Amino acid sequence: MIYRHTCSNGLRIVLEEMKAVRSLTIGIWVRTGSRMETISNNGISHLLEHMMFKGTVNRSAQEIAEVFDKMGGELNAFTSKEFTCFYAKVLDTHKHLAVEVLADIVINATIDDEELAREKQVVKEEIHMTEDTPDDIVHDLLEESAFPHHSIGLPILGTKENVQGFSRDELLQFKDTFYVASNIVISVAGNVEPDFIQQIEKDFSKLSSQPLHMNWETPVFTSNQIVKQKEIEQAHICKGYQGISMQDDNIYSMLLVNNLLGGSMSSRLFQDIRERHGLAYAIFSYHSTFLDTGLLTIYAGTSNEQRHTVDQKIDDMIEELWTQSITDKELTNGKEQLKGMLMLSLESTSSKMSRNARNEWAISEHPTIDQVQEEIDQVDVSQINHVVTRLFERGTAHATITPSSLG
């Protein structure tokens, strides 16, 4: 059973009971990420996420860590393009203390200057680590290529120069702007009763009720190309296509197309490029859904000598999918695969917490698993063809990193 509640200050709470487990996961989802930034403050959401754990007016950073270690729980956070999420997974007996500490972190973080100086170094090392991982950074380059005139194309970590330049006052001002009740969804899933909502509302009652007005512009997909060189052995190829948003009625058709194309070991790309021709070890696709757009990404890692061959084979596979309908067998198998993946992904409290938070933000509804399975079963070949046309008619964004020693 899923319960929804909107507090007097505008905070939204979603709670799902899972009586068969002895734990729960609590997630604080703040609508802020690199999409809400500019070139000049790119990276501030991620740095602020790090700093929220560095002490509050009530607890030091060490005390925060010790509280969750003593509970045997997990405390962590992440920043994405559109969200920053702080989450805790604990035994149900520790739920009251867990939500109290999470509220303390989100509301009362102090952003100490000395801690900030140290954490800047940590984040810069994180950026260095990403730059040394070409099969990671090429995906950032693709998003920059696909959305060059929109902040959704900015990297989540920002730049080293920006990170070094942020002041405590800038972080606090950013926090005061975005960490307001109307811009937060709290999602809880696990062995918890619905009356737990009352404690959450009480602990987060001091959140600012100040309204947040965003200049929300839908990103425009662009067929650009970015090529960079690094001292590496392989070429890393990313190709991107205009996807669809979380709110789109064709979302399950899109997921089926992705699985058919490169989302599994039986997919067309994997079977052709890896299994049949041995041109790549890693070849896959995935669909990124945002609040009002999406991006289908195809990635391949191959030798520099073979990259043009791999690139052409991907184009050939796209052309074949676009001009020839999928078979009934492919559609049936794809539906069963997607339903199985969905069911397996929702066996944990963490995954249900995340799913409910994203649904609350995107559609303000919470379809049951049976309803989702029914929607998947209703997808037909004409809907698949419609999504394929939408995907590929707007061209291709490219990002490639090649070995500098090979040209």
* Tens digits of residue pLDDT in 94-134: 999 999 999 999 999 999 999 999 999 999 999 999 999 99
Of 406 and 182, the structure prediction assigns the larger pLDDT to 182
Which among 329, 330, 338, 331 has a CA at the least distance from the CA of 372? 338
* DSSP 3-state of 90: strand
Assigned CATH topology for domain 225-403 = Cytochrome Bc1 Complex; Chain A, domain 1 (3.30.830)
Catalytic residue selected from 16, 17, 37, 49: 49
Give me the mean pLDDT over the 384-405 stretch. Answer: 94
Query: Which pTM was predicted?
Result: 0.96
Q: What is the tens place of the pLDDT at every residue in 347-382? A: 899 999 999 999 999 999 999 999 999 999 999 999
Average pLDDT, stretch 20-35?
98
Assess contact for 204 and 186: CB atoms under 8 A. Answer: yes
The SS3 of residue 209 is coil
CATH architecture of 2-204: 2-Layer Sandwich (3.30)
209-232 average pLDDT score: 93
pLDDT digits (tens, 9 = 90+) for 306-317: 999 999 999 999
11: phi then psi, degrees, rounded to nearest 5 = -65, 135
Determine the Cα–Cα distance for residues 325 and 348; give it in Å rounded to an integer: 36
CA distances from 86 to 49, 80, 89, 237 (A): 8, 12, 11, 33
Q: Distances from the Cα of 249 to the Cαs of 190, 346, 363, 375, in angstroms? A: 29, 21, 11, 10
Q: What is the pLDDT of residue 407?
A: 43
Q: Determine the Cα–Cα distance for residues 330 and 336; give it in Å rounded to an integer.
A: 10
Encode pLDDT of 256-279 as tens digits. 999 999 999 999 999 999 999 999
pLDDT at 405: 66
213: confidence class by pLDDT, cuts 50, 70, 90? confident
* Mean pLDDT, rounded, for 230-240: 97
User: Band of the pLDDT at 151, cuts 50, 70, 90?
Assistant: very high
Position 45, amino acid: S
Within 8 A by CB and 6+ apart from 92, the residues are 22, 23, 24, 190, 191, 192
Using 50, 70 and 90 to split pLDDT, how confident is the model at 325? Answer: confident
Banded model confidence at residue 214, pLDDT cuts 50, 70, 90: confident
Is residue 66 flagged as an active site residue?
no
Looking at the chain, the domain(s) classified CATH 3.30.830.10 span: 2-204, 225-403
